[in-house]
Amino acid sequence: MNKVVLAYSGGLDTSIIVKWLQDTYQCEVVTFTADVGQGEEVEPARAKAKAAGVKEIYIEDLREEFATDFVFPMFRANTIYEGEYLLGTSIARPLISKRLVEIANQVNADAISHGATGKGNDQVRFELNAYALDANIQVIAPWREWDLSSRESLMDYAEKHGIEIDYQKQDKKSPYSMDANLLHISYEGDILEDPWAEPEDDMWRWTVSPEDAPDKAEYVELTYKKGDIVAINGKAMSPASVMEDLNKRAGAHGIGRDDIVENRFVGMKSRGCYETPAGTVMLKAHRAMESLTLDREAAHLKDELMPKYANMVYNGFWFAPEREMLQAAIDQTQEVVNGEVRLKFYKGNVIVVGRKSDNSLFNEKIATFEDDEGAYDQKDAAGFIKLNALRLRLKSLK
């Protein structure tokens, strides 16, 4: 290997990987740091990379691309994995993989590298998405090669080789493994490895405890166009701005915390905690908008297909033809998902209190409990019921 492009955060794992790649492969390392809305400065990664002897450093603001081309399409499908996980980590990986491959081709690198462990899902996501874009790409996954077996051993390696880690001077305790972007922040490790242990309250960064949330509710109106939020309280916003705004508003009301034991693609169960304020709001509001505008059978078919779509995102098949096929079908349904949804944020809850649309299929004249002036003949229901009951009646005669 002469040159390797590394997905680089400047944190513990990737700081060590730079040195390890240089020593193990005697290669030049190119670092790529993606700003996908993690809420922290990414520029410090430049100084760390330079200190490690890196000459080619890529730091890119991908927030709008992330929100527009990855998060928003996923939410048009109302995607949720195993009934709880809003796929915050999963959906960021295809974008990072895409840029890794593009940069590798641009700088004539021999391989790409990442800091995902051999136990996790991210190794699969990074590599499947990379191979989908470049069949000949070479991948170096240090966690599958080196003899460093724990976060404590990484910290010892950093100390031995003079690699400065942000928390190193403050505490020798191994931290939570965290991942953040516009959609969520995740926490794994430490006491969370015991599924019975309650998370420490000071672990959470984006949301207040629901008990400490304001006693007064906040009302928010979201405007939808073709299944995407385009404005908040009448103010037009870009996809990334929408998510940043909702993260702040919902987080302040204790919305978006989740504690999950999930089934990883590699086979094991894993316990993680997630903060997804904007995503929690987006899922609730989008379903409310669809409830008013989508035909019943189209909506039900979407619900049947959604778990398959969620598995594709979770398992790393974003660029697979089956996901693209499903996306085309989903996007076609969204042509009519236009209008406004009014929400109430209160003490950890997102409550839908109103929805309206020019594409509404709700007919008050037919649905009313009052006199409908002949819009619906209730006698028609008798034949409908008898036809649907025919097979049941025949079975009961046996």
Residues 63-113: pLDDT tens digits?
A: 999 999 999 999 999 999 999 999 999 999 999 999 999 999 999 999 999
Is 220 within 8 Å of 343 (Cβ atoms)? Answer: yes
Question: Quick one: which H or E segment has residue 313?
Answer: helix 296-315
DSSP 197: S
Q: Tell me which of 93, 151, 323, 355 is the catalytic residue.
A: 93
Question: Quick one: which H or E segment has residue 232?
Answer: strand 228-232
Say what the pLDDT of residue 150 is: 80
Residue 358 annotated in active site: no
Q: Tokens 């096929």 identify what position?
A: 325
HSE-CB at 52 with a 13 A cutoff on CA atoms is: 33
DSSP 81: B
Say what the pLDDT of residue 372 is: 87
Say what the pLDDT of residue 170 is: 45
Q: Tell me which of 15, 97, 177, 186 is the catalytic residue.
A: 177
Q: Tokens 């999950």 identify what position?
A: 260
Q: Judging by DSSP bridges, how do beta strands 185-188 and 349-356 pair with one another?
A: unpaired
Say what the pLDDT of residue 201 is: 93
Residue intervals of the chain classified under CATH 3.40.50.620 are 3-63+92-168
Report pLDDT digits (tens) over 249-288. 999 999 999 999 999 999 999 999 999 999 999 999 999 9
Query: From CA 254, how far away is CA 212, in angstroms rounded?
Result: 8
- Domain over 3-63+92-168 is classified CATH 3.40.50.620: yes
Q: Tokens 């919902």 identify what position?
A: 250
3-class secondary structure, 379: coil
Tokens of 214: 């304001």
- CA 264-265-270 angle, 5° bins: 10
Regions of the chain short of the pLDDT cut 70: 166-175
The CATH topology of domain 177-355 is: Argininosuccinate synthetase, chain A, domain 2 (3.90.1260)
Residue 122 annotated in active site: yes
Query: From CA 316, how far away is CA 45, in angstroms rounded?
Result: 26
Residue intervals of the chain classified under CATH 3.90.1260.10 are 177-355
Say what the pLDDT of residue 166 is: 66
Say what the pLDDT of residue 96 is: 98
R_g of the chain computed on alpha carbons: 25
Picking from 52, 120, 72, 142, the residue whose alpha carbon sits closest to that of residue 316 is: 120
3-class secondary structure, 14: helix
Say what the pLDDT of residue 175 is: 63
HSE-CB at 218 with a 13 A cutoff on CA atoms is: 19
Is 359 within 8 Å of 227 (Cβ atoms)? Answer: no
Residue 93 annotated in active site: yes
HSE-CB at 3 with a 13 A cutoff on CA atoms is: 15
For helices 277-293 and 239-251, give the axis angle rounded to 10 degrees.
Answer: 110
Say what the pLDDT of residue 174 is: 47
Q: Tell me which of 35, 122, 179, 228 is the catalytic residue.
A: 122
Bridge partners, 270 (sequence order)? 262
Is 130 within 8 Å of 101 (Cβ atoms)? Answer: yes
Question: Quick one: which H or E segment has residue 151?
Answer: helix 151-160
Tokens of 384: 């409908």
